[in-house]
Amino acid sequence: MNAKLESIIAEAKRNWQSEQNSGRIRIRVTRDTSSLARGADETIAKLQGAIDSKKLTADLGVTGSWGFCWMEPCVTVRSAAGTHTILYGNVTPDRAGEFIEAIAAGRDFPELAIGVVEGNATADIPLLSDHPFMKGQVRRLMANIGTTDPESIEHYLAHDGYAGFGKALEMDAEAIVKEMLDSGLGGRAGAGFPTGRKWDFLRTATASPRYLVCNADEGDPGAWVNRVLLEGDPHLIVEGLLIASLATHADEAYIYIRYEYPIAFARMQKAVEQAREKGLVGKNILGSGKDFEIVVFFGAGAYVCGAETGLMSSIDGYRGMPRIKPPFPAQAGLWNKPTNVNNVESYANAPMIMRNGAQWWSSVSDAKEKGTKMFTFSGSVNWAGCVEVPFGPSIGTVVDQWCGGMREGRVLKGFQPGGPLSGVCAANRNLTLTLDPYRELGLFLGGGGIVFFDQFTCVLDMCKFFLAFCEDESCARCTTCRGGTQRAVEIMRRIQAGGGRDSDFTNLQTLVTTMVWSNCFHGQFAMTTIKTALKAFPDEWQEHIVEKKCRAGVCEALESGLQPVRRVEPEEALALAGS
Amino acid sequence: MTVEPGVEELRELVAEFQPNRGHVMPALHKVQEKYGFIPRPAFEVIARQLNSTPALIFGAATFYSDYRLHAPPETEIAWCCGPACRVLGGQRVLDAIQDELGIGFDEHTEGDRLGLHVGQCNGTCHEAPQVWVNGKVRGNLTPESARELVRELKAAGE
Ligand SMILES: Cc1cc2nc3c(=O)[nH]c(=O)nc-3n(C[C@H](O)[C@H](O)[C@H](O)COP(=O)(O)O)c2cc1C
Ligand code: FES
């Protein structure tokens, strides 16, 4: 490996080791958007206050999110001897006092314990790996998160950070692309297009300069997997981009972060600066003669800027309107130069593939889709958190195991697999987290945000909501999309107000068949929610339009028919949704 | 009333930005960060700095929901329109807030004290249904607790 890189990694490891052996209690609090929403900063202030006043030989630090988002702030406490580490949850400011009392007295605090991270289980506290939320998870992308300080390049280096880049430095571009292709990594934004093939398009492009774009626009409401990475381990993304730059001969990268993620923006900026200080970004990287720049770019609130061509016109300073492809970004992207666009999670896998090899990387599951994928779950379930799992588990497992079941009194009625363009599905516990079953149903398993709903959710109200979202976020270039989404919202509002007509089925069908003519996926797939909901929940449309009833009791102008959802057998649901 | 900044001051603020380098949004962000919104003269100043036209800069700015053309209220309530919030009763929370405030989206109460804005999900869905009060999450709302919150905010300014 590059001698300079080898020495900075070795030094970081030594520092990490001596930190570990400091003989001090180590307290680490998650500090990300989710934990700040639940009072992390006040918790941190209280813990620090108590450490100072009690003169505890302890140091306090921060980490990214373990994924137990509904139990933030999470805190790990590592014993002075380093033999015993426990993860606690719900260490909210009002509990911080009694919590630190116990720690200061040398006791555990079982009441808030989630599990033992290091050492043996105790009588009161089981191992973290036995927690239902952790079972079945394989944490690779999230391996550092919870352990390292996201604002420390030293911590990242100490965990073999940038070693994947070190390997890539010794390979030629073609060999890196081959390794990526062999791994079978598919684009994590949802389409699953092989990342290695995209990289090869850019590698073989002829013009220069050439650009990389890291799509951190994560616009699907209910998805925050990219945020967990950006806030929790930003150097993983820098390293991914560095590897991609070697594979594609790229000169500069733009990381486009949505406006709703200010902490992610600040951490990515800091990470890039730290990498620059170490000689990993900028001119003549590590003495290799290679130059590479990274710009961290802040969006301003526009869903279509997640679409790659919209994103590029946004960086360019124009309205963020997607355009017709071809030309594809690899032919004419940023400033009409060859460009490669990938999702955050796609780039973040590159360091894993380089460090451990394609074989290791792809061996984790039997599914056709290789590697692990991060998902966030929310809605009518008990736990709203973030997991990393191999592709393939069933929705039943997701709900029972990783979501802690449905909230009290709520029955699973259906779910949205991946954002406003992805459609809705009837409750089917057998569907797996893989791409094909959704495609077959006319849906998409998108970027990782799955939202569950129950009998109190009106399917038509959901359709109205998602169409209104698509209307608001339409770039307005295509008549089919601009006018079509408006028309769909009008029709939905009228139905919900009691003015449904038989002809509405045809009206909606017309929109389904014409909006697909829009230029970009936004317009093409805006009607997916209605299209799939018509198939999956035919009775509910009939009730609203013909009988003027809303079984969920949401549409106030209609007769409320709150009644138990019909139990749909899995095979039947599949047939319904697929017919 | 807010006083519009002078052209000189704006020029200095955006002096670092260059044409054709993807600097339109960073320049707009910098102006908004300073004034809380993009004052009218800024469009002309940025256009000149970036070798562009005010129409193009204005067109770009108004494409996004988070560039503001008017001074923000003292306290902004951003209501999450996301799906998890909706599934858990967000619409009724909004109805209660609007009823209590007597204003619609992007309107302000008397003296620009309180304002209402549509917020997008940022992945704190575990607090659903929620609003952000000047960026800080107030979650697990019911129509009643949302009314209570609005009354509290109204009282705080009196
Ligand atoms: C309306 C719309 C919104 C999108 N939003 C995102 C997004 O937020 N993040 C993302 O990575 N891709 C998004 N995409 C997909 C991108 O266009 C692009 O395909 C993706 O970034 C490619 O990454 P991958 O190959 O690594 O999966 C969106 C597409 C459309 C049409
Ligand atoms: S849906 Fe409101 S925070 Fe996610």
Interface test with A, best of B14, B37, B63, B91 (most A CBs within 10 A): B63
* DSSP reduced 3-state for A404: coil
Residue type present at position A5? L
Chain A residues in contact with B82 (beta carbon < 8 A): 221-222
Question: Which DSSP string corresponds to A261-285?
Answer: -HHHHHHHHHHHHHHHHTTSSBSSG
CATH of A22-130, picked from 3.30.230.10, 3.40.50.620, 3.70.10.10, 3.40.30.10, is: 3.40.30.10
Minimum CA distance residue for ligand 2 atom 3: B125
Q: What is the CATH number of domain A372-454?
A: 3.10.20.600
**Cα B32 from chain centre:** 10
Amino acid in the structure at residue A427: A
3-state DSSP: chain A helix, strand, coil percent, rounded to 5?
45, 15, 40
Quote the ligand 1 centre to A447 CA distance (angstroms): 8
**Looking at ligand 2, which residue's alpha carbon is closest to its atom 1?**
B82
How far does the centroid of ligand 2 lie from the alpha carbon of residue A37, in Å? Answer: 12
pLDDT-derived band at B2, boundaries 50, 70, 90:
low
Which token pair is A547? Answer: 């009988």
* A298: chain B residues, CB-CB within 8 Å: 25-26, 29
Helical segments of A278-391, H only: 308-316, 344-362
- Is the CB of residue A374 less than 8 Å from the CB of residue A448? yes
pTM beyond 0.90: yes
On whether the CB atoms of residues B127 and A37 are closer than 8 A, the answer is yes
Cα nearest neighbour of A457 on chain B: B87
Quote the CA–CA distance of A287 and A280 in Å, as a whole number.
10
- Tell me how far apart the alpha carbons of residues A359 and A371 are, in angstroms, rounded to a whole number: 10
Q: What's A162-361's CATH class?
A: alpha beta
B119, B122, B125, B130: CA torsion to nearest 10: -30
C-beta separation of A255 from A297 below 8 A: yes
Are B59 and A319 inside 8 Å of each other by CB? yes
Minimal Cβ distance to B29: which of A222, A224, A298: A298
A300 near B CB under 8 A: yes
For residue B30, the chain A residues in CB contact (below 8 A) are: none
Q: How many angstroms separate the CA atoms of A143 and A150, rounded?
A: 12
Strands A293-298 and A25-30, bridge-based pairing:
unpaired
**Ligand 2 center–CA A104 separation, angstroms:** 37
Say how many Å lie between the CA of residue A229 and the centre of ligand 1.
17
> In this predicted structure, what is the pLDDT of residue B158?
65
Question: In the CATH hierarchy, which fold is given to the domain comprising A459-560?
Answer: de novo design (two linked rop proteins) (1.20.1440)
Q: Whose CA is nearest to atom 11 of ligand 1?
A: A343
Token pair 């509990």 in the structure block, residue:
A95
Judged by DSSP in three states, A59 sits in strand
Ligand nearest to the CA of residue A309, numbered in listed order: 1
| Cβ–Cβ below 8 Å for A319 and B67 | no
CB proximity A310 to B under 8 Å = no
Using most ligand atoms within 8 A of CB, pick from A217, A343, A467, A521 the residue to mutate for ligand 1. Answer: A343
The verdict on a CB contact (< 8 Å) between A302 and B128 is no
Strand order in the sheet with A58-63: A58-63, A25-30, A75-78, A85-88, A113-118
Q: Does A260 touch chain B (CB under 8 A)?
A: yes
Enumerate residues 152 to 171 of chain A having a beta carbon within 8 A of any beta carbon in chain B: none
Distance A92 CA to ligand 2 centre (A): 20
Residue numbers in A near B24 (CB within 8 A): 316-318
In chain B, which residue's Cα lies nearest the Cα of A319?
A: B60
Tell me the chain A residues in contact with residue B128 when contact means C-beta distances shorter than 8 Å. Answer: 378, 384
DSSP-based three-state secondary structure for B76: strand
The pocket around ligand 2, CB under 6 angstroms, is made up of A 221-222; B 80, 82-85, 121, 124-125, 128, 130
Q: Answer whether A248's CB lies under 8 Å from A203's CB.
A: yes
In the reported structure, the alpha carbon of residue A556 is separated from the centroid of ligand 1 by a whole-number distance in angstroms of 36
Q: Which of A227, A295, A300 sits opposite B123 (nearest CB)?
A: A227
Tell me how far apart the alpha carbons of residues A192 and A244 are, in angstroms, rounded to a whole number.
17
CB–CB of A243/A164 below 8 Å? yes
Of B52, B66, B84, the CB nearest to A300: B66
The phi, psi pair for A168, rounded to 5°, reads: -60, -35
Query: Residue A369: what pLDDT?
Result: 94
Two tokens, residue A262: 């200010």
Is A93 within 8 Å of A75 (Cβ atoms)?
no
CA-CA distance, B69 to B62, in Å (whole number)? 8
What is the rounded average pLDDT of the residues B95-100? 97
User: What are chain B's domains?
Assistant: 7-63 (1.10.10.1590), 75-156 (3.40.30.10)
pLDDT per residue as tens, chain A (579 positions): 899 999 999 999 999 999 999 999 999 999 999 999 999 999 999 999 999 999 999 999 999 999 999 999 999 999 999 999 999 999 999 999 999 999 999 999 999 999 999 999 999 999 999 999 999 999 999 999 999 999 999 999 999 999 999 999 999 999 999 999 999 999 999 999 999 999 999 999 999 999 999 999 999 999 999 999 999 999 999 999 999 999 999 999 999 999 999 999 999 999 999 999 999 999 999 999 999 999 999 999 999 999 999 999 999 999 999 999 999 999 999 999 999 999 999 999 999 999 999 999 999 988 999 999 999 999 999 999 999 999 999 999 999 999 999 999 999 999 999 999 999 999 999 999 999 999 999 999 999 999 999 999 999 999 999 999 999 999 999 999 999 999 999 999 999 999 999 999 999 999 999 999 999 999 999 999 999 999 999 999 999 999 999 999 999 999 987 654 444 454 555 555 544
Domain spans of chain A, in order of start = 22-130, 162-361, 372-454, 459-560
Q: Cβ of A221 and B82 within 8 Å?
A: yes
pLDDT at A567: 46
Q: Check CB contact under 8 Å for B83 and A451.
A: yes
Helix (H) or strand (E) holding B40: helix B40-49
Is B124–A227 a contact, with Cβ atoms under 8 angstroms apart? no
- Spatial separation of the C-alpha atoms in residues A34 and A379, rounded to whole Å: 16
Ligand 1 neighbour A218 (Cβ under 6 A): yes
Alpha-carbon gap, residue B126 to A120, rounded angstroms: 31
Q: In Å, how far from its chain's centre is CA A550?
A: 34
